[in-house]
Amino acid sequence: MRGENEALVVIDLQNDFCPGGALAVQGGDEIIAGINALMAEFSCVVLSQDWHPPGHSSFASSHPGAAPFSQSEAGYGLQTLWPDHCIAGSRGAEFHPGLDLQPAQLILRKGFRRPIDSYSAFYENDRVTGTGLEAWLRARGIEKLTLAGLATDFCVAWSALDAVRLGFAAEVRLDLSRAIDQQGSLDAACAAMTKAGVRLIPQP
């Protein structure tokens, strides 16, 4: 059993990120059994859930002529445009049916504001608008986070980078995460996490 000051944060283990989903991550469903087992080690478990309104600004379909996986200037910086995914209330936005929800003490939804995407569980992509997770963890006395889930190079990495920036110790279970990995994004995310002091397990 881990210490009382440790939390497991499971990122976006939702149908749309698993094989067959709208933004499927290769092997996304392979990590579920391992994550379910890992949850039993923690007295604090948080799940994040990507939760977008129809017509969200991160959807390529909201930008006439734009292709999925292209970049757009969003006002807060470059934003990758995605296929429509994780629409609030849809089946694709539900957690994968294999994920054990019973240990979750907090389910944190993010990305629900149309003009701003939110990869990180701590901040929206403008890097300023907080989700409330930091205060919740601090109120629980949490100092150290283990992160796992989907996708390694986007929501997991951005969450881990924010965690260390906020002063939490953070480790990412690469073996219990899977990446979108477009244009070297996985290598770039791992390099950024290592540089920032995130512990990667296993060490790549």
Residue from 82, 95, 122, 123 binding ligand VGL (CB under 6 A): 82
Catalytic-role residue among 29, 50, 84, 110: 110
157 binds, among Zn ion, ligand VGL, none (CB under 5 to 8 A by kind): none
Cα distance between residue 61 and residue 82, in whole Å: 8
Which position has the token pair 């000051």? 5
Residue from 29, 50, 134, 171 binding ligand VGL (CB under 6 A): 50
- Does the active-site annotation cover 12? yes
Any contact of residue 124 with ligand VGL (CB under 6 A)? no
- Does the active-site annotation cover 144? no
Residue from 50, 153, 162, 171 binding Zn ion (CB under 5 A): 50
Catalytic-role residue among 12, 29, 153, 162: 12
Stretch that binds Zn ion, among 42-50, 64-72, 124-132, 189-197 (CB under 5 A): 42-50
Any contact of residue 162 with ligand VGL (CB under 6 A)? no
**Residues pairing with 28 in the sheet:** none
Give the pairing type, strands 199-201 and 78-80. Answer: unpaired
Cα distance between residue 88 and residue 5, in whole Å: 32
Which position has the token pair 């976006």? 12
Any contact of residue 150 with ligand VGL (CB under 6 A)? yes
Size of the site for ligand VGL (CB under 6 A): 9
Task: Considering only the C-alpha atoms of the chain, give the largest distance between any 2 of them, rounded to a whole number of Å.
Answer: 51
DSSP 124-173: -TTS-SB-SHHHHHHHTT--EEEEEEE-IIIIIHHHHHHHHHTT-EEEEE
Contact positions vs Zn ion (CB under 5 A): 50
Kindly list the catalytic residues.
12, 110, 155
